[in-house]
Amino acid sequence: MTKKDKKPAGKAEKMRRKVYEKELERLHVELVHLQRWVVHNGLKVCIVFEGRDGAGKGGVIKAITERVSPRIFRVVALPAPTEREKTQLYFQRYIQHFPAAGEIVIFDRSWYNRAGIERVLNFCTEDEAEHFLGQVPTIERAMVDSGIILLKYWLEVSPEEQQRRLEDRVHDGRKTWKLSEMDLKSYHHWDAYTAAREAMFRASDSPWAPWYVARSEDKRRVRLNVMSHLLAKIPYEELPLPAVKLGKRKVVKDEGANYPVTYVPERY
């Protein structure tokens, strides 16, 4: 990490739920304003989330998208490449998901898999990883030159907090689905991931597509911090809403209104 990303002394107190929910509601309203602005002006926005396993990427993405339209805010989380995709140009399967006018595409992991998990776990060769790092600034420059607003976030978590979260996935029946074989493998390669991350930053932290590091020890704080930051990085204005009046319902006699349907048992 660079000097500007150094963590200040001391650890912030965990944000209280009441404070978090109040600020989350305010930011959700702003995201709705952003959504309408993006559609109205035909903007193209691409947001990349990277970070170690357990860093909280999914929670941040869920917080961003839970109150907006999935047709405008599209989340892309690609599985492992197929045998056919492995023979394609590396960027090919990502390019097809880039935003069109009026869209915000969020990548839950992205083309940077090659600089991270693929490199650390030997799913690609060192030559392939270095070739990728040499190409990626040019690819991202082409994205930005085409009118795409590109934001790249790395969520940083301490080894202690990562271990706590992964252990929580082991013991909490609601979270076991989050624990993958890759999580367990990557857990044992902390130092290798650190080296890969630093190489990735050096090669791809460009003036046209910089990396933004978000500290994620406190899940509530990192969600608000990222949402606030992306709203600040995408210029938008609140558009006036059309006047809406519901009026009275039109009553129409329906002979089938009393059809004997089967209701779900009300056990709660």
Query: DSSP readout, 64-132?
Result: HHTTS-TTTEEEE---SPPHHHHTS-TTHHHHTTS--TTEEEEEES-GGGGGTHHHHTTSS-HHHHHHH
For residue 196, the model assigns a pLDDT of 96
DSSP 5: G
For residue 106, the model assigns a pLDDT of 98
For residue 8, the model assigns a pLDDT of 46
Closest CA to 166 of 156, 176, 154, 174: 176
pTM of the model: 0.88
H or E segment and range at residue 52: none
CA distance 210 to 205: 5
The owner of tokens 């050096």 is 202
Question: At 180, which amino acid appears?
Answer: S
Mutual angle of helices 219-233 and 57-65, in 10-degree steps: 60
For residue 255, the model assigns a pLDDT of 62
Task: Give how far Cα 25 sits from Cα of 31, 106, 228, Å.
Answer: 10, 20, 12
- Matching CATH number, 14-233, of 3.30.390.30, 3.40.50.300, 3.90.79.10, 3.40.1050.10: 3.40.50.300
Spell out, as residue ranges, where the chain has pLDDT lower than 50. 1-5, 7-10
For residue 163, the model assigns a pLDDT of 86
76 contacts 84 by C-beta, under 8 angstroms: no
CA distance 131 to 117: 16
